[in-house]
Amino acid sequence: MTHHSSNDALQLSSEEMRTLGYQIVDMIVDHFEHVEDISLATRASRHTLEQRLREPLPEEGRPVEQVLKQLQSDVFANVMPLDHPRFFAFIPGPNNFVSVMADALTSGFNPFAGTWRLAPGTAQVELVTIDWLRQLCGLPETAGGLFVSGGSVATLTALATARHIKLADNTQDAVVYCSDQTHSASDRALKLLGFAPHQLRRLPSDASFRLSTDELTRAIAEDRAVGRRPFCVIGNAGTTNTGAVDPLSTIVDICRAEDLWFHVDAAHGGAAILNEQGQCLLLGLEQADSLALDPHKWLFQPYEIGCVLTRQSRWLYETFSVLPEILKDVAGREEEVNFRDYGIQLTRSTRALKLWMSLKVFGLAAFRHAVERGIALAEYAEALLRQSPCWEVLTPAQLGIVTFRYVGKSRPHGDLNALNQRILDAMFEDGFAFLTSTLLRGQIALRLCIINPRTTEADIQGTLQRLERFGERLSDV
């Protein structure tokens, strides 16, 4: 391909566009086909990457092949593949190719998704896709929402709505309740919304790491007694730490009796609503006033796509709508939904397209089976761990997550936290699998989050065998 520094219109010929496009598709397909062969060992340091990538602003253009080559060798080689079947840390990102292509289409057609009249086609796709999620979650027809960048912005959008509808934006003495297992996205959202840290009460969770409703009732009464204003409870539909689900139905009753907003963080666990077992587990979710979902986790979408739903879609409108002069001409009729009025972004892309297209192409049943597979694989991992005296299961498999620690055959004295940390470090270096730890009541827990439908039983066996070998070797030192 030729040099383009002279092309001031930033345009390639159709021949050049096709060549580049096919090359990039080949790169992506190679990634999907060979992701298992990529090592999961630690990536290059900042120092190395400074040397490779630091350069002055490029005044002149250069051949695209050269840039692609550097992308491959310096950039993508230093990206951890969260779609690797043995990537078990945090929440993995097992992407799907149809959605990747949908993102390319979204970017190529570049619809303006803030204003109905500029892209009614894609706005309708967003309405339909949001409504599919609403139906799955069992929310009433009055509910609505929109796609955002991820769970964090979904949480921010939901809690901003709670603040507006419940408090008319006056945060004075208002109190929010959640368990100590709640994701930090809630802390950050409340901080941005003008709440002081003490206005979020992180209550000690019960033995299964669920919100204790006794603690909740007590805290609400205590706060009311001293003139504070309880206004919102955040329930977890699958904590990131252990997959624990708070007693949502009981929390609903408390919220209704106390006139509190009920927000549910279903960023990790919401996808389990696809299957019957998950529906039982998540009972009460359908009563939420607001809900944060994260299709870029367990609905197998590329980043970024999160989703916020509220029980009344007008609550979002009442919270976010403003109408400056420049937008008056495109204000639209009642039935024309301008997503700019429902959230933080004016200019926004159509994140819905990838979820819509992949659901239509694979079908919901395929997604359901993929989610069920994750749940079953975590149960399989738990069963394997229970077969060996070297392991102690700390929390059972829940929503694809199991936590455990190495205790050794002879239950070594000494510092188990330090030993488990060394096991983890050995795996970082080894690169066969990637997992992280979490801290559960002061104990370091190894943690597997198994939601990749391409993960096999052999991947899990191999990972646990290796961890056990590290454990044996490191207990001796």
* Distance between CA atoms of residues 251 and 233, nearest Å: 8
Residue 273 DSSP SS3: helix
Residue 106 contacts residue 350 (beta carbons within 8 Å): yes
| Helix and strand element counts for the chain (H, E) | 15, 11
| 251: nearest Cα among 206, 314, 302 | 206
User: Of 103 and 468, which CB lies nearer to ligand PLP in the complex structure?
Assistant: 103
When asked if residue 152 is in the footprint of ligand PLP (CB under 6 A), the reply is yes
Please report whether residue 240 would count as binding ligand PLP according to CB under 6 A: yes
Contacting ligand PLP within 282-311 (CB under 6 A): 294, 306
Kindly state whether residue 150 participates in binding ligand PLP, applying the rule CB under 6 A: yes
Q: Could you say which of 228, 268, 340, 447 contacts ligand PLP (CB under 6 A)?
A: 268
Contact indicator for 320, 144 with CB cutoff of 8 Å? no
Is residue 183 at the binding interface for ligand PLP, with CB under 6 A as the rule? yes
Nearer to ligand PLP, 154 or 216 (CB): 154
CB of 240 to ligand PLP, least distance (A): 4
Decide: is 420 part of the binding site for ligand PLP (CB under 6 A): no
What is the nearest approach in angstroms of ligand PLP to the Cβ of residue 186? 8
Shortest separation between residue 239's beta carbon and ligand PLP, angstroms = 6
- Residue 151 binds to ligand PLP (criterion: CB under 6 A): yes
374 binds ligand PLP, rule: CB under 6 A = no
Q: Please report, as a single letter, which amino acid is at residue 438.
A: T
- Write the single-letter amino acid at 395: T
**Sequence-ordered list of residues with C-beta below 8 angstroms from that of 465, at least 6 positions apart, any chain:** none
Residue 150 CB, nearest approach to ligand PLP (Å): 3
Nearer to ligand PLP among residue 155 and residue 338 (C-beta):
155
Write out the two tokens for 52: 């490779």
Helix (H, G, I), strand (E, B) or coil at 436: strand
Restricted to residues 75-134, the positions that interact with ligand PLP (CB under 6 A) are 91
Per CB under 6 A, does 210 bind ligand PLP?
A: no
Q: Which of 123, 267, 444, 474 binds ligand PLP (CB under 6 A)?
A: 267
Element (H, E) at 318: helix 313-320
Nearer to ligand PLP by C-beta: 152 or 199? 152
Whether residue 233 contacts residue 200, with contact meaning beta carbons closer than 8 Å, is answered with no
Token pair belonging to 428:
């970082």
Q: Which is nearer to ligand PLP, 282 or 423 (CB)?
A: 282
Whether 279 contacts 237, CB under 8 Å: no
Decide: 298 and 289 in contact? Cβ < 8 Å.
no
**375 interacts with ligand PLP by CB under 6 A:** no
Q: Which residues bind ligand PLP (CB under 6 A)?
A: 91, 150-152, 183, 185, 240, 265, 267-268, 294, 306
